[in-house]
Structure 1
Amino acid sequence: MTKLNQANLAQLPVATPQYDRASLAGGIIHFGLGNFHRAHQAVYLDRLMNLGKGRDFAIIGAGVMPSDAAMRNALAEQDWLYTVVEQSAEASRARVIGPMIDYLPPADSAAIVAKLADPAIRIASLTITEGGYFIDATTGHFDPTHPAIVDDGRDPQNPRTVFGMLVAGLKARRAAGIPSFTVMCCDNIPHNGKVTREAVVETARLSDPDLADWIAANVAFPNAMVDRITPATSDRERRMIREDFGVEDDNPVFAEDFIQWVLEDNFPSGRPPLEDAGVEFVADVTPWELMKIRILNGGHAVIAYPSGLMDIHFVHEGMESPLVRAFLDKIETDEIIPIVPPVPGTDLHGYYRKVAERCANPKIGDTIRRLCLDGSNRQPKFIIPTINDRLARNLPVDGLALESALWCRYCAGMTDSGATIEPNDPNWDRLTEKAAAAKANPSAWLGMSEIYGATGQDPRFAAPFARWLAMLWREGTEATLKAYLKG
């Protein structure tokens, strides 16, 4: 057993960085050092640096929550190194990832803003989860009245949100005559660059309208499509890294062997040549973005809630259920794929087959609970837009109405067997209250305008939703899925 740190790299029995980490220079400050970033953006940079390129674009981590301190402390003990284990159904490969060179003290706004003002920083990137962008589901736009944003508007010198910190960093650069950095969102949000731009500009507008106009005119916010299934790290993964690979790593990341990044090429202050590491640069990422969000992320929701209600633990076990797999196949084929716009060089049905193969990978250990997480933020982005597009074309939404009814039934807090479902959403208390009321009155659920907008009041959606929800309570998930599949 070898402890992972810089001094022990040569002794490790797995692949390690083939570059001198001491020669790296920070060029990217990244907010949100979760598993996805560590298995995605950092992996591409590691590939690039192993080619002898991009070594002035090392990662400096940043966090806005005091709770981020635990991750910082753990990574510091390993000299910012960690192991990524890529798993196919047939094999597992481990590699130590080394592009990260520092992690600023979380929630230390002065230190973070000072680093953002450093001319060496040319990119500020984000993976802060879908729920971190203060989007009002009713309007689909940034909510500048959120208390955290209002606080940053009142006291812009001491920001507490990532957007307040970005504004403060850009203000310092403008005052010093330093070109702006590019803001690169890597979260699973439709038009994520546009969403991030609105959040930064409107946060600035609360305290400095002139600065807001300058940001809108001078700062680039490229859109991106990012993809890799990356489960949470648990004691299971820590044990596997020790027993299977002989590495003592408290923060390994296990991920599928599939990885994809499609990115708009809009980096006025420069960027690493990531195309040499497999990133696809395009003029407009929208087609890839819609394909991924609707087929993959929407498909995850379709798998998640029936599996959760039937006490299925792992995603691959859900895919092994004939009912869940048939439910996914039918919704994807009948309702989702037909309204996804064409993607250059891509067969949408072939893309879906790859998605299904990835979800069925038994090595990943991805959990149904993770797919069920945060539905109040994910449903408005991954499911409801597809419903709206179908309704706009006067097409049926029977399967998607059932998916929504399954989410409602899941939020009631117990499975079909009577097992308790522990809180699994930032708004869990409100969701459980609405789900309980919806048992007798479905409009109690569909009336959540921050999630459904006007869609919940459309009888073409509300009627099948109510019918399926009643059947779920009366007959259970298995019987309801069979009824749907029989047509």
Structure 2
Amino acid sequence: MNNQSVWMHIGAGSFHRAHQAWYLHKLREQGDDSWSIALGNIRDDANALLTQLDKQQGAYVLETVSPEGERHYEQISSIKKILPWDAQISALIEQGAQPNTRVIAFTVTESGYYLTPEHELDLTQADVKADLAGGIRTLYGALTRILKRRVELGGAPVTLLNCDNLRHNGERFRHGFLSFLKAKQETALYDWVSANTTSPNTMVDRITPRPTPDVAERVKAATGIQDAVPVMGESFIQWVIEDDFIAGRPALEKVGVELVDSVLPWEEAKIRILNATHSCIAWAGTLIGLSYIDDSTRHPVIRQLAWEYVSQDVIPSLTPSPLDLGDYRDVVLARFSNPHIKDTNQRVAADGLSKIPGMVTPTLIQCYARGSEPQASAVLPALFYLFLQRWAQGDLPYEYQDGVMQPDTIRALFAGSDPLKAFTSDEALFAELAGNDAFHALMVRTVARMQAWVNETTAQPLTV
């Protein structure tokens, strides 16, 4: 990569290739080729993708589709180096230690940070314990190895950039990482990270479903390119970043990235309106036998539940805001209704045990604080409860993925005498509302109402 500045990205999923890589590609299209991406993964679950990308010299086609069905194709060429996986993540360590690697960014999902409801590192998690003992199961364990080597080679400053859907994502990651280093008694590295890295908060947005075989077929028909690893997403895209890069950054403002002092208003709107609503729709759709987000969003009852949640509880909680929250709500529901994306309920339903405390509980708490019963917001944990109950019964139509789930614990909860009481008393999910009598009573009513709706709906022939 000569003397180019390198953006090393950890997390070789579709989202990175449809989002951060796209922005860097647009910058290169303008003639600024001073930055390129080196892409790798901590775990071995992306090896086939990385191998194929390497065969394609890092290039791939991005298909985007608008709500009106207009498709657009671009060959993305910002990934210039593929970092092959091995058990010691040696390629990541080598690249991350180089002084011209000025940004180390990552997408490891909400559950990949192992934080408690109080935003502290959960030292009881098996993966965290393994990494404290020298493993590389988590981002924290991986960064410890990468940055120790970087210090050995001179210790050039570097920005550590969180690109996941996590409130205050830079701050929360940084606190988790420093807590990990402290628990691991890595005092020297703790001091170096504190002084020589920054972790700006960011807000990222583009719906990016897991690619299906028909994407490659459309890419070939439209472009003539035989691409084994294309990616597709919606036409909408947004990236808001706090401008706090310690070692320089790409000129992202030239390609539509919003560089701001604080991402808080954008972040809160996205997490509570877009992310929470997305999950609500996925859980509800799954419960009545639907497979896709767009079909679920267009179901009149589900759409109304989502609209009421945002309108009655979230907008009052976020007002005043520099954003037009009502307009944002309507744009989000229109995006989710896009019939051409075919995003699955399975993908969006994942990681609910992290999403409830991060995306929903803050609104529940704020409603009670201002003397308002959160009837509309209670629908979300009620749907998730029924969804988890289906999982415990082995009755979900797909495999549910949740990074912090302890299956035996969930099965034991539903085998107990009062599973809903145990659910609403879980501090990891509901923080200060756990064990609150008023909240529990609300949830009893709401779960009963949602169960009755599911029973009534599934008793009828399903039309979408």
Same-fold call, TM > 0.5? yes
Q: Distance in 2 between matches of 1:64 and 1:30?
A: 10
Matched, 1:146 2:122: no
Q: Distance in 2 between matches of 1:318 and 1:473?
A: 17
Matched, 1:464 2:442: yes
Q: Distance in 2 between matches of 1:110 and 1:193?
A: 25
* Aligned residue number for residue 131 of structure 1: 111
Q: Distance in 1 between matches of 2:141 and 2:284?
A: 40
1:114 corresponds to which letter in structure 2? E
1:423 corresponds to which letter in structure 2? E
* Aligned residue number for residue 155 of structure 2: 178
Q: Distance in 1 between matches of 2:220 and 2:295?
A: 25
Does 436-445 or 119-128 show the bigger shift? Answer: 436-445
Q: Distance in 1 between matches of 2:226 and 2:373?
A: 53
Which of 99, 109, 115 pairs up with 2:95? 115
- RMSD over aligned CA atoms reads 2.5
Does 235-244 or 311-320 show the bigger shift? Answer: 235-244
Q: CA deviation at 1:116?
A: 1.2
In the TM superposition, what whole-angstrom CA distance separates every residue of 1:362-412 from its partner, at most 9, and x where no partner exists?
A: 111112222212211222111112112222222211122122111111122
1:257 corresponds to which letter in structure 2? S
Q: Distance in 2 between matches of 1:147 and 1:440?
A: 28
* Aligned residue number for residue 4 of structure 1: none
* Aligned residue number for residue 328 of structure 2: 351
Q: CA deviation at 1:26?
A: 5.3
Q: Distance in 2 between matches of 1:262 and 1:222?
A: 10
Q: Distance in 1 between matches of 2:441 and 2:420?
A: 9
In the TM superposition, what whole-angstrom CA distance separates every residue of 1:33-82 from its partner, at most 9, and x where no partner exists?
A: 101111000000000000111x2321111211122212211211222111
Q: Distance in 1 between matches of 2:312 and 2:409?
A: 29
Q: 1:86·1:254 contact (CA, 8 Å) conserved in 2?
A: yes
* Aligned residue number for residue 424 of structure 1: 400
Q: 1:238·1:251 contact (CA, 8 Å) conserved in 2?
A: yes
Q: 1:306·1:477 contact (CA, 8 Å) conserved in 2?
A: no
Q: CA deviation at 1:235?
A: 2.0
* Aligned residue number for residue 371 of structure 2: 394
1:48 corresponds to which letter in structure 2? L
Matches within 5 A, 1:30-109: 30-53=9-32, 55-90=33-68, 91-106=70-85, 107-109=87-89
Matches within 5 A, 1:248-263: 248-263=226-241
3-state secondary structure, aligned to 1:400: coil
In the TM superposition, what whole-angstrom CA distance separates every residue of 1:258-282 from its partner, at most 9, and x where no partner exists?
A: 0000000011210110000110000
Matches within 5 A, 1:217-228: 217-228=195-206
Q: CA deviation at 1:440?
A: 4.9
Q: 1:287·1:342 contact (CA, 8 Å) conserved in 2?
A: no
Q: Which runs of 5+ in 2 are unaligned?
A: 459-464
3-state secondary structure, aligned to 2:101: coil
Alpha carbons of 1:425 and 1:438: their partners in 2 closer, same or farther (altered >3 Å)?
farther
Q: CA deviation at 1:359?
A: 0.8
Q: Distance in 2 between matches of 1:274 and 1:126?
A: 17
Q: Distance in 1 between matches of 2:29 and 2:122?
A: 42
* Aligned residue number for residue 461 of structure 2: none
Q: Distance in 2 between matches of 1:356 and 1:478?
A: 24
Q: CA deviation at 1:160?
A: 4.5
Matched, 1:285 2:263: yes
Alpha carbons of 1:316 and 1:476: their partners in 2 closer, same or farther (altered >3 Å)?
closer
Q: 1:437·1:444 contact (CA, 8 Å) conserved in 2?
A: no
Q: CA deviation at 1:458?
A: 1.6
Does 235-244 or 92-101 show the bigger shift? Answer: 235-244
* Aligned residue number for residue 202 of structure 1: 179
Q: Which runs of 5+ in 1 are unaligned?
A: 1-21, 481-487
* Aligned residue number for residue 273 of structure 2: 295
Q: 2:4·2:36 contact (CA, 8 Å) conserved in 1?
A: yes
In the TM superposition, what whole-angstrom CA distance separates every residue of 1:153-178 from its partner, at most 9, and x where no partner exists?
A: 343xx745322232333333334433
Q: 1:297·1:382 contact (CA, 8 Å) conserved in 2?
A: yes
* Aligned residue number for residue 215 of structure 1: 193
Q: 2:67·2:334 contact (CA, 8 Å) conserved in 1?
A: no
2:97 corresponds to which letter in structure 1? A
Q: Distance in 2 between matches of 1:439 and 1:319?
A: 34
Q: Distance in 2 between matches of 1:441 and 1:169?
A: 44
* Aligned residue number for residue 209 of structure 2: 231
User: What is the TM-score when the length of structure 1 is the normalising length?
Assistant: 0.86
Determine what percentage of the aligned residue pairs are the same residue: 31
Q: 2:7·2:103 contact (CA, 8 Å) conserved in 1?
A: yes
Q: Distance in 2 between matches of 1:58 and 1:173?
A: 19
User: How many equivalent residue pairs?
Assistant: 453
Matched, 1:385 2:362: yes
Matches within 5 A, 1:305-320: 305-320=283-298
Q: CA deviation at 1:23?
A: 7.8
Q: 1:109·1:160 contact (CA, 8 Å) conserved in 2?
A: no
Q: 1:83·1:97 contact (CA, 8 Å) conserved in 2?
A: yes
Q: CA deviation at 1:420?
A: 4.0
Q: Distance in 2 between matches of 1:99 and 1:358?
A: 27
Does 71-80 or 121-130 show the bigger shift? Answer: 71-80
Does 236-245 or 330-339 show the bigger shift? Answer: 236-245
